[in-house]
Chains A and B, each alone.
Chain A
């Protein structure tokens, strides 16, 4: 299957810091990327859908000014958690999908801990 990378794989930061997470599709063009968040013992929750070159579509309850998403190229999307707080500590996972394909491929995830 296709490969999606995420960086960093884990980050620990102080409250108030902004954290940037990168998601890259390594061997295909990701026309659509999805950002998910998963709290312990819970399922993945979709945060936003981003299509290359356009603004991301955020799910209800997800603050677009707090979770900034940029999908500037067909192989890279970034999620920036601005002014992170302890309640933002979670496992953030991106996935990517090519145009015309139904399957999505997941990155390995980024574990964020905000102190």
Chain B
């Protein structure tokens, strides 16, 4: 089983739509969780960290459910500029201080 699994996608949504991505992780001792955004042929950039209480940054809301080992990202009022691949990343210190990446979910926002 993969350490981190994400929705396969791709997601094609119209401008203004709300879209949600899901991610599950296998290591219950994982301690930190992130969503990264990667544009084509570019490096990943941190979108937001994910906290146990859930957190919001503008149109983006991240949720963490430790009991279900599940992370989500909600994007409201999608913009064309949101088109990218979204990577779910989990950090675990009990397996050697390593970051584990999901395969990414591709989002295309259509005019």
Contacts and interface: CB of A to CB of B under 8 A. Distances in A.
B99 A34 contact: yes
Residues of B in contact with A, size category:
20 to 34
Interface in A95-109: 95, 102-109
Contact of A49 (B49, B98, B101): B98
Interface in B68-111: 87, 91, 96-99, 101-104
Contact of B96 (A43, A57, A102, A103): A57
B45 A103 contact: no
Nearest to A91: B41
B31 interface: yes
B44 interface: yes
A32 B97 contact: yes
B1 interface: no
B103 A43 contact: yes
Contact of B44 (A1, A32, A42, A44): A44
B32 A102 contact: yes
A93 interface: yes
Interface string A77-115: 000000000000001010100000011111111010000
A46 interface: yes
Interface string B22-45: 000000000110100000011111
Contacts of A32: 97
A108 B46 CA distance: 13
A109 to B, nearest CB: 5
Given A43-B104, A44-B101, A49-B97, A102 B46 contact: no
Contacts of A43: 87, 101-104
Contacts of A107: 43
A86 B104 CA distance: 26
Interface of B: 31-32, 34, 41-46, 49, 87, 91, 96-99, 101-104
